[in-house]
Structure 1
């Protein structure tokens, strides 16, 4: 009798092991590849470089990275957050074909995107002269997540081969030498962006920045009014920096602002009771950094609910003695 009793006691545990084992065995591996990247373009930036760009994958696609190919040759592997790359070390006056494949966490590769082709221009010997900067830059929002940037043509002693669009000092797009406008996507709603454009020649000489163009994307559907300080200015004087802006319309006085310098929070500007500016605000900072130091400055307001609002446009200034 003790033996059957022992068997009855262990039978449920055995059944549980079998059940769990069967469940694990029924889990199929992930073999579904993500969709091919869309919007692939290739633009020669110089005699030896081509700028390749594509649209970011949707969050539901599970993409963890991209592989960039020149013909059948793998030239770069990039994380999911990077959707453009300069392919270097190319030959002048040569045609190239590029494609991109997306990869997911299980290692599945998407089909190749339709190939994008570019031909590098001829190399110019001893070309050290940069193009002129585009004299005019304008920008306008075309939706909560998109904008259009337009610029005037630049000149060069050889030829302009590309225009590079920058957002707060970071290149986000490259256009061809005959283009003067481009559409940008993937922006954030209710956000101020500052765009500049540089011209580039076949020897990879870049012009100075053209004039900055600010654009504010509208809030997405269902969101409230824009919360970014408007018309932000920054001016350096000996030992000081003077900031100016128009307060956002939040429904009540805005007395607190957070200042960022070179991408990092630096100080909180507070206006005391009775001193809160009703429209245009101004604040003077005393600085001790040496002359020639470059600052990129922007700020945001404390909203009535206690959270921080959207950032103002960013301004770059050089400190003076």
Structure 2
């Protein structure tokens, strides 16, 4: 299987792979690719991908990244504000709230991963977030979010939605709770989210709270109770959609052209895996900014016309798990 990454400068023979999306996708090593070598036969963790930052109030920012699946295993993440380390979380987590910030201020954040030996990998790309202005003498909490609704998406994910809260100064963010634990935050203009990384055959309880710029928090919404499906499933709710395939011929060879839309999850999808005729053949990793909307990619399959292939694709979700497969398409080289 081959793994390719955007933003890299490594060279690949043009007959092996071509990319048509968001900059040039270039071949790296095999699927065992990871971070840099320490010089003692060990590999450092890779830079975390999919890092985002969004203000939760006038004094807090919610930082989120994609959980690594590196070898060696990541044991903790460090979050930096500028050059100052401000938070450290276990390797099983991939989001954190940075508090005690100043209103009306732009902050720059990066995230680094560390392995069990204490070696840190390179920093992620920088992300910026600006806190809103402080509201003087605001002691009124937003109203509770209304009419929450949820449904399980197979065995590993759930879709939640709610009606917006009212606040005399405006809602800055919504906090999502699983039981008594806060598990995520979204912006004040957002009234839906997808929670991934759930366990099959398990009952869950979710509530939502609204937060304003002064950090006043609303009462919890009504509880949404749902159960994930038992066992494993095809995860269709976390699969890429509108998946299409065609072929083209160039330099005497045939290529399969793919296009798709990313699954709707909170966070950034930075990695996809392509299966050809039932086997994984390529991993696509965006080292820079992943494309918004439709993604496209082309890869070499041979020089013979009239050969049929079955193709499907799946995304690695921000929690580090694989989402469901797209619909499978059959394409024949040389056909129109």
TM-score range, shorter chain: 0.5 to 0.7
**CA deviation after TM superposition for structure 1 residue 67, in Å:** 0.7
Aligned to 2:301: none
| Alpha-carbon distance in structure 1 between the residues aligned to 2:230 and 2:49 | 26
Q: Secondary structure of the residue that 1:121 maps to in structure 2?
A: coil
1:120 paired to 2:135: no
> Where does residue 148 of structure 1 map in the other structure?
159
> Contact 1:192 / 1:214 at 8 angstroms: preserved in 2?
yes
Structure 2, unaligned runs of 5 or more:
1-38, 234-336
Aligned pair partner of 2:92 in 66, 71, 81? 81
Q: How many pairs does the alignment contain?
A: 195
Assess if the C-alpha contact under 8 Å between 1:190 and 1:216 holds in 2: yes
1:149-228 aligned within 5 A: 149-221=160-232
User: Which shifted more, 141-150 or 196-205?
Assistant: 141-150
Task: Rate the CA distance shift 1:61–1:194 in 2: closer, same or farther, 3 A.
Answer: farther
More strand per residue:
2
TM-score (norm. length: structure 1): 0.57
Gaps of 5+ in 1: 1-27, 223-321
Deviation at 1:148, TM superposition (A): 1.4
Q: Deviations over 1:205-254 (max 9, x none)?
A: 100011111221112338xxxxxxxxxxxxxxxxxxxxxxxxxxxxxxxx
Q: How far does the alpha carbon of each residue in 1:171-223 deviate from its partner, in whole angstroms, 9 at most, with x for none?
A: 1000001111111111111111111100000111100011111221112338x
Report which of the two structures shows the higher radius of gyration computed on alpha carbons: 1
Matched residues in 1 for 2:175 and 2:193: separation? 11
Deviation at 1:109, TM superposition (A): 1.6
Please state whether the residue corresponding to 1:74 is helix, strand or coil. strand
Q: Secondary structure at 2:177's aligned position in 1?
A: strand
Which residue is equivalent to 2:107?
96
Tell me the CA shift for residue 88 of structure 1: 1.5
CA drift of 1:165 comes to 0.4
The Cα shift of 1:111 comes to 2.4
* In structure 1, C-alpha distance between the alignment counterparts of 2:90 and 2:229, rounded to whole Å: 29
Secondary structure at 2:146's aligned position in 1? coil
Secondary structure at the counterpart of residue 172 of structure 1: strand
For 1:211-290, what aligned pairs fall within 5 Å after superposition? Answer: 211-221=222-232
Alignment of 1:59-70 (within 5 A): 60-70=71-81
- CA positional deviation for 1:113: 2.3
Give 2:48's aligned residue. 37
Q: C-alpha displacement at 1:55, in angstroms?
A: 2.9
Q: 1:70: how far off?
A: 1.3
Deviation of residue 30 (structure 1)? 4.6
Q: Does the Cα contact within 8 Å between 1:145 and 1:217 map onto a contact in 2? A: yes
Q: Structure 1 residue 61: deviation in Å? A: 4.2
Which structure shows the bigger proportion of residues in helix conformation? Answer: 1
RMSD in angstroms over aligned alpha carbons?
1.8
Contact 1:99 1:116 in 2 (8 A): yes
Deviation at 1:130, TM superposition (A): 0.2
Which of structures 1 and 2 has the larger relative contact order (alpha carbons within 8 angstroms, sep 6+)?
Answer: 2
Residue of structure 1 aligned with 2:59, choices 38, 45, 48: 48
1:91-119 Cα offsets, whole Å, 9 max, x none, are 11111121211100122222222333211
Moved more, 35-44 or 84-93: 35-44
